[in-house]
Structure 1
Amino acid sequence: MRTVLCFGDSNTYGSSPMTARGDSFRYRPEIRWPMRMAAALGPGWHVIEEGLPGRTTCHDNPFEGPHKNGLRMLPAILESHAPIDVIVMMLGTNDLKGYLGLTAFDIAKGLRTLLLRIRQSAAGPGGGAPAVVLVSPVPIEECGPTAEGLAGGAEKSRRLTGFCKDLADEFDAAFLDAGSVATVSEQDGVHLDPQAHVALGAAVAEKVACLFARA
């Protein structure tokens, strides 16, 4: 059985779009894109959901705590789930938050740091490194209850896609532009609706299957 680790933020966790009051809930497993991917891949695959709302690439959250730092938590996650055949990583949206003051290039540097840590790990089969599918996040819109905190983020989120493609080439990783198959909800401009989860799950499943077909 092959193991797929989905490492991401609230859109991997399955958070619904927020209302004006900031209310949100977690979609049922059969709606969330990692489980949609699992269904598409079929038997013989073990899919692990490792999504955390608010997770950044490599930055502490001064309001919610250092556990939101993806780099800080990644080594333990890799060890606890090893051996991992492939990691599907979709991060960067929370790095767009205004209080971090990051450019798209800065966010890409954070992603590169994570990819280096994965490459240097022994979390894959036989003590090697896991394969990677790098997913550039769906570009955001500045609307609804998230607009003020993400001011300026829409343009940066679109620039991030090109940087992600370059990183995938550098690390010989598979690449998926999530914005090519899904859009964010108009309700909050950040999170995915059920239809987007369906589309993303199918697209990621195809990337994972092709990755192993060529191996």
Structure 2
Amino acid sequence: MPTILTFGDSNTHGTQPMLTRPSDLPRHMRRWPVVMAERLGWDLIEEGLPGRTFAFPDPEMGPHMDGRLGLFIALESHGPIDALTIMLGTNDLKAQFDATPEDIAEAAAFHLDVALSDEMQARHGGFEPFLILPPAPRALGVLAEHYTGAEAKSMATYDAVRAMAEARDVAVFDANSVVSVSEVDGVHLEAASHEILGVAVADFILSERVEDAAE
């Protein structure tokens, strides 16, 4: 049975929309990676960390929020895997980082280059990475101050990230095509959105594998 590793932030972890900060709500039981793996019939390894970025240590949440080291740890802790999803970028859009779309695309490129490296591919006997563009954040609720201007910046950011991934022949799925963030906090997904996204990502991966097999 194939194994898939899902590497991401709070929306991969399954954090519920937050009415207060910090929140004492449990994470969604049927978060999108669980739904996806169920539809695929594959084994699942979850590596979702709330607050994780592509490349920024967080002065409030800690240096371990920088996903670059985390990706190495995840890929060397588990395996062999047959596929990897990376869904990051939401936290990189926080106002405190003042990152340009090009900064974020360059940081995302580091992750794909690690995944595609001869060392990591050999370690797992070959696996296919998939990049997921996360739902665009909005400045709402208790997280509003962190995401001032993020929604507008996300469009240019996702264009830059998509171009970078396609240049590396990595398939990209845009979560914005099927779900949007909660009106409660402008960042996290409601339970229904996790169901929708999990099914959509599974179908996307299956279609990409069929296409690859036909080539």
Fold match by TM threshold 0.5 = yes
**Contact kept in structure 2, 1:84 and 1:124, CA below 8 Å:** no
For the structure 1 residues 24 and 168, does the alpha-carbon distance in structure 2 shift closer, same or farther, using more than 3 Å as the test?
Answer: farther
- Secondary structure of 2:17's counterpart equals coil
Structure 1 counterpart of 2:32: 33
**Higher mean C-alpha displacement, 131-140 vs 119-128:** 119-128
Structure 2 counterpart of 1:15: 15
1:67 is displaced (CA, Å) by 1.2
Does residue 157 of structure 2 align to residue 160 of structure 1?
yes
Mapping for residues 143-182 of structure 1, pairs under 5 Å: 143-182=140-179
Structure 1 counterpart of 2:187: 190
Identical residues among aligned pairs (%): 41
1:66 is displaced (CA, Å) by 1.5
Question: Which digits, 9 at most, give the CA deviation of each residue in 1:102-152, with x for residues without a partner?
Answer: 012211111011111111153346755521111111011111111111111
Does residue 209 of structure 2 align to residue 212 of structure 1?
yes
**Contact kept in structure 1, 2:15 and 2:27, CA below 8 Å:** yes
Aligned length: 212
Question: Which structure dedicates a bigger proportion of its chain to helix?
Answer: 2
- Secondary structure of 1:4's counterpart equals strand
Does residue 31 of structure 2 align to residue 46 of structure 1?
no
2:92 aligns with one of 74, 95, 100: 95
Distance 1:58 1:37 in 2: 26
Structure 2 counterpart of 1:141: 138
**Contact kept in structure 2, 1:133 and 1:175, CA below 8 Å:** yes
Gaps of 5+ in 1: none
- Secondary structure of 1:190's counterpart equals coil
Gaps of 5+ in 2: none
- The amino acid across from 1:12 in the alignment is T
- Relative to the length of structure 2, the TM-score reads 0.92
Distance 1:126 1:120 in 2: 10
- Secondary structure of 1:149's counterpart equals helix
Distance 2:24 2:179 in 1: 20
Question: Which digits, 9 at most, give the CA deviation of each residue in 1:71-93, with x for residues without a partner?
Answer: 01211210111222111110000
User: Aligned-pair RMSD on alpha carbons?
Assistant: 1.7
**Contact kept in structure 1, 2:112 and 2:165, CA below 8 Å:** no
- The amino acid across from 2:192 in the alignment is Q
1:19 is displaced (CA, Å) by 0.2
**Contact kept in structure 2, 1:13 and 1:26, CA below 8 Å:** no
